[in-house]
Homo-oligomer: A and B are copies of this chain.
Amino acid sequence: MKTHGIALVATATGLLTTWTAVTLSHLTASEMKAPGLKFAHVVDLTHTLDEDTPYIPVRNITFPFRKTPIATFAANGVAAYRWEIHEHLGTHIDAPSHFFEGGLPVDRLPVDSLIVPLVVIDISTKGVSDPNSSLTVADIETWERRHGRIPQHAAVMMVSGWDSRIEDAKAFVNADASGVMHFPGYSPAAASFLARSREVSGIGVDTLSIDPGVDTTYTVHKAWLASGKWAVELVANLRQVPASGATVFVGAAKVRGATGGPVRLLAVW
């Protein structure tokens, strides 16, 4: 006896793609009839966090992340670690409470904003050549001419090509002699357009910040988080997912009152 109300079936509607995603070979034709969501690809959009992960320097923080054994095989027959971590490291989420007193913390973000259609906007042509470039309203318009209007409640992610620098933290942060960073982000107008005219759930970037590094006043953070929505930063592997048609799961650690925190991001389609 089935107790659920909705079943889902998959239909092939186009050519197979050449994305380098995990292809689920265990999804045989007969299993496609089993209950549950059906999809053919999974891509992990999450960088692995460790002591070498690039990060924005923060006052009073002398290390970004530390993992210390609290049990070892030799002494205890079991292994476990304690972490010291701050909320804005690695592939992570920003909640409205990061910039606004009384803004939603991570644990109170609406759960239905955490599984949403994924829109990927690629600005790598300018992003790689100009570290001060931004995703603009014109880039959104170009995407919409090709793929149609951005779906309601979507997560919009910027690909700047910046994650090719991930193994070189200094090149990733890209600070100049005066300490100002240079990497792509959103233009304030693009962020406002997405918040007000497209009702998206969240935005993301493959760089360290939704603000271009050169903006030291966090204009986009303030405009975006004022809208009550989330942002994710340091997103991985966005070139491996389609520009339209995937769904993203935003697995934000649920800590009471958190302004941010580690997030596991998976794209499926």
Contacts and interface: CB of A to CB of B under 8 A. Distances in A.
A78 B60 contact: no
A9 interface: yes
Contacts of A17: 3-5
A6 B40 contact: yes
A12 interface: yes
A198 to B, nearest CB: 14
A115 interface: yes
A254 B245 contact: no
Interface string A2-27: 11111111111111110000101010
A10 B6 contact: yes
Nearest to A17: B5
A97 B70 contact: no
Interface residues of A, number: 104
A83 B86 contact: yes
A268 B98 contact: no
Interface string A28-64: 0001001111111111101111100000001111000
Interface of A: 1-17, 22, 24, 26, 31, 34-44, 46-50, 58-61, 65, 67, 70-71, 73, 76, 78-88, 90-91, 97-99, 101, 107, 110-112, 114-118, 146-147, 151-153, 218, 242-247, 249-264, 266, 268-269
B115 A80 contact: no
A37 B116 CA distance: 8
Given A82-B86, A111-B42, A247-B37, A153 B47 contact: no
Given A82-B61, A254-B262, A14 B5 contact: yes
